[in-house]
Amino acid sequence: MTSIYVYSLIVFFIVSILYIIIRYCRKSKTIEGFEEFQYKFLKPLEAYHVINNSGYFNNFNTSNIRARLCANVTDCRYKYKKELVLIDPMEEEAIKWVINNMINRLKQCNTKLVSLLNIPIKFAKFTLKLEDNMPHTHDDVIFLPESTYNKLWSLHQQTMNYNNDKLDYAIKNYGSTIIHELTHILQRKYEDRFINFYQQQWYFDKIEPSAIQKHNNIFDRARLNPDGIDMGWVWVNPYSKQHKHPQEYYLLMATFKNDHPKYLGDVDNNVYKLEKTINNYQYRIANAELISNNIPLLTFFGKVSNNYHPNEISAEYMSHYAMKMLDIPTEIDLNNNCMAYNSFVQFIKSLK
């Protein structure tokens, strides 16, 4: 009887050790996938508190209130609370499906990128009446429109019938968006390092509106973006000195077309060419044009749709970088030696 008891203790001890080893190994495999990845899907009121506590509403001016079709800030608060909706459990599964499949493919070719993106992530859902139906983030929460959840759920259902083409489509059109939004969360996590990168590698300076003489209300008409609240990013054209020209300064901004915008997307992505004043501490606006027409910016950054803020450019680059690893084409048009993109890739590889 004693030998059986001892034998049982030995077996129990061995099984316990094996269990601990397996648990340790699983937790150590941070680049093997998302075994430890934590998804959280926020309820509407939870999501609203995230927005409210972020101070987002405190930055609304008259133009931004009008563009959101609100009467005032209080009305905007009510509208945002009303238009945040519950995520269905089947939609939760669809989100997990596209992310897990995308990451499982990425880990086969770029474990560093997978490790960087392997962070706890929260999701919220809103109707088409908020933020012009555009995905965005607040703090560490990704806010996606209900149309995205609906389409992902539909695609998920179709792949259950072994339609793998739908998975590729989902990764290209929605997985890439999630990568973009995850980058905005990384920008907050590594805020100082991103800012330093923008200044040292991308030649950006940060100025206050008061630094520009007679700025013609351009800052008043700047569209507020939760992923780039800070404005006043001036690009110091690195080609000026190379061509022995006077130094050029470009202020990038998404600006409402007038003081009474009809909707949030009623903007132009503008570049304002600045000149230094005599005292060398202030600027004046020399001229303005669309960013898409500016040759120096296109040469340095390539053709990027979200090109009015360094946070948006880097998020577009991250999405492009991930899709490139998966051999999935994107809408970004880069030359073979795009300085901004190449330096960004090296920067991302340096993050830990």
The predicted model scores a pTM of: 0.88
User: Which tens digit of pLDDT belongs to each residue from 304-325?
Assistant: 999 999 999 999 999 999 999 9
Predicted confidence (pLDDT) at residue 136 exceeds the cutoff of 80: yes
Biggest CA-to-CA distance, the chain: 99
Whole-number Å distance between alpha carbons of 3 and 9: 10
Q: What is the pLDDT of residues 17-53, one digit of tens each?
A: 544 444 444 444 444 444 556 899 999 999 999 999 9
SS3 104: helix
Q: 331 in the Ramachandran plot: left (φ > 0), alpha (ψ -120 to 50) or beta?
A: alpha
Angle at which helix 89-106 crosses helix 146-159, to 10 degrees, equals 70
pLDDT in tens, 76-89: 999 999 999 999 99
**Per-residue pLDDT tens digits for 220-265:** 999 999 999 999 999 999 998 777 788 999 999 999 999 999 999 9
How far is residue 210's CA from residue 234's CA, in Å, rounded to a whole number?
14
- CA nearest 306: which of 323, 324, 322, 318? 318
Q: What angle do CA 73, 138, 263 make, to 5 degrees?
A: 50
Number of H-type helices and E-type strands within the chain: 14, 11
Of the candidates 229, 290, 284, 281, the residue with the CA atom closest to the CA atom of residue 255:
290
Could you tell me which residue, 32 or 214, shows the higher pLDDT? 214
Please, which pLDDT band fits residue 14 given cuts at 50, 70 and 90? low
Placement of tokens 């132009």 in the chain: 268
Looking at the DSSP bridge assignments, the partners of residue 276 are: 283
